[in-house]
Structure 1
Amino acid sequence: MTKLAAKLTLLSCFVLSSASVMANSEELSQCPARNFPGETSTSISFDPSQWPLKGWLIQSPNSRALYLSSDPTDAQNSVVRFELRQGETLQTRTVNRPRAELYEQYRAPFHHPIEYQFRVFFPDEWQNDDVRALIAQWHATPDLHLDEVSRSPNLALDVHGDQLLIKVQTSPVAVNQDNRTDMLHEVLYRSDPIKKNQWYQIKVEVNWSWSTDGYIKVWIQGQQVVNYVGPTAYQDCYGPYFKMGIYRQDSPNTFVMYADDYQRKLL
């Protein structure tokens, strides 16, 4: 059996009807069992007593690049601070890139609406540059048993220059091995210039799906800026996971960002 045929067999475990999505338990068992810690809902305020966070992992080149800090606007509040300087990279399973990120081990379900909320803050130390700098991303879970490589995130918040871009990426290819073939990209939103030294409240509602029932809605400061309908995920055994922090192209400039009040819940 070819890898593509094997992947298509795995995908047949999800049967989409007009009323609901049903999984055939016999076919679903072909997806390898994997343990992803996390509850179906969570609320995190980055209290030092709860650090390091249960169910989260840290990807950081050094201790200065990611740590708990006082809120720049409220010394009584604890937040997480991210900083990347030129040349600071971290080697992961697949790449060596500049990054300082927290990522949640929980995997979202397919075909079930889910909501995420969090706040981000860009101080003066965020030195704008014309490079890609992801501050939040929803990353796919590659099917390693099919030798699949990691693909670019299905959904990403990207600060480019002084603007925030919201991007979606999917692919009709079931088994991906190069992160380039038949990728579908779309910029869903491009903001006005970002204001420094203020908190931005972000809410995302999404239905992860490689089919027509997928959708993405995004609100910034309470105003809806994205209302997208279409595919939102790759055809995988397990759904996307959330990452926050800084993942960027290298730059001579220093980037600093704060984040707080992460929430996730099924709708």
Structure 2
Amino acid sequence: MRKWADTLIKMLLFSGFGLVSTSVLANTDKLTTCPARHFPGAETTLHTFDANQWPLKGWLVQAPNHRALHLANDPTNKKNSVVRFELRHGETLQTRTVNRPRTELYEQYRAPFHHPIQYQFRVFFPNEWHSDNVRALIAQWHATPDLHLGEVSRSPNLALDVHGDQLLIKLQTSSVAVNHDNRTQMQRKVLYRSEPIKKNQWYQMKVDVNWSWSSDGYVKVWIQHQQVVNYIGPTAYQDCFGPYFKMGIYRQDSPNTFVMYADDYQRKRL
């Protein structure tokens, strides 16, 4: 009987019905069926956005006002449109769990576990980007909490964090399958710390990742076509649904205004 049940679960997993999460198999103490949810973007293996087409299909906005996130001219090519993010002192946004300074785009798509995926995008820091001694996330792959199991929130598994004039690439995972406080047994790693970033130039980012809470996980990162990260190990939490991508400005409070541009996002299965 047990062998038949295991076979049925595997059939459901790999037939595309999505009724049972792989986290169920990884944690026999939590034999929980994940809720059925649909996220836009799962139908295609390649997804891009062109900032000339606004609003962006499959993306949602978290911004305190219209000025904080809008379409603008490329600072280096007036014929090209890009997304402009601006965050001023005191501008915050209340989300389900926190009220923090932020202006971000986030993709509704949730990445699959145990399937390599690649992300590419460009970011530009103008003179209006201040090198304060504050934590400012410019991109993050945010985990999806299992709300039906009582999880309140999940910190991003992977983040690009500009602190002062350096870019840091950070990874967060946990061996706890259901984490009610988002703190218990968290493993945090700094995978890369850059030289001082240069303003008024585009930075090309490429990230190859296998989202997994097991040893088959990995993260590879290229900046300006030079590889800076080659990490092997856990990259995700044991959740029903994988991480979703966010870009923009999410930072600690500062008296200064921060401005950033982004363009040419691409996501594809490898």
Q: TM-score, normalised by structure 2?
A: 0.88
2:212 alignment counterpart = 209
**Match of residue 71 from structure 1:** 74
CA distance in structure 2 between the partners assigned to 1:86 and 1:31 by the alignment = 40
Q: Once the 2 structures are TM-superposed, how far is the Cα of residue 122 of structure 1 from its aligned partner?
A: 0.1
**Quick one: which of 41, 48, 56 aligns to 1:43?**
48
Counting matched residue pairs gives 248
Q: What SS class does the counterpart of residue 62 from structure 1 fall into?
A: coil
Give the Cα–Cα distance (whole angstroms) in 2 for the partners of residues 171 and 136 of structure 1: 20
Residues in 1 aligned to 2:183 and 2:269: alpha-carbon distance in whole angstroms = 31
> Contact 2:19/2:36 (CA < 8 Å) preserved in 1?
no
Counterpart position of 2:225: 222
Alignment equivalent of 2:104, drawn from 101, 104, 110: 101
TM-score of the aligned structures, taking structure 1 as reference length:
0.89
Partner in structure 1 of residue 249 of structure 2: 246
Amino acid in structure 2 at the alignment position of 1:250: D
Query: In the TM superposition, what whole-angstrom CA distance separates every residue of 1:102-148 from its partner, at most 9, and x where no partner exists?
Result: 00000100000000000000000001101110000000011111011
- Using the TM superposition, name which of 166-175 and 29-38 deviates more: 29-38
Deviation at 1:22, TM superposition (A): 6.1
- Gap change, CA 1:27 and 1:82, over 3 Å in 2: closer
SS of corresponding position for 2:67: helix
Q: Which runs of 5+ in 2 are unaligned?
A: 1-8, 22-31
1:75-154 aligned at under 5 Å gives the runs 75-154=78-157
Amino acid at match of 2:247: M
Superposed CA deviations along residues 79-99 of structure 1, whole A, max 9, x for unmatched, are 000011111000001100000
| Residue 182 of structure 1, CA deviation | 0.8
Tell me the distance in 1 between the aligned counterparts of 2:227 and 2:19.
Answer: 41
The answer to whether structure 1 residue 185 and structure 2 residue 188 are counterparts is yes
C-alpha contact 2:207 2:222 (8 A) present in aligned 1: yes
The answer to whether the 8 A contact 2:19-2:34 is kept is no
Counterpart secondary structure, 1:64:
coil
Residue 176 of structure 1 aligns to a residue whose secondary structure is coil
Per the alignment, in what secondary structure is the counterpart of residue 242 of structure 2?
coil
- The 5-angstrom pairing of residues 159-178 of structure 1 reads 159-178=162-181
SS in 2 for 1:145: helix
Is 1:198 the counterpart of 2:201? The answer is yes
Aligned CA distance change for structure 1 residues 14 and 112 (closer, same or farther; 3 Å): farther
One-letter code aligned to 2:166: Q
**Identical positions, percent:** 78
Measured after TM superposition, the shift of residue 205 of structure 1 is 0.2
3-state SS of 2:220 partner:
strand
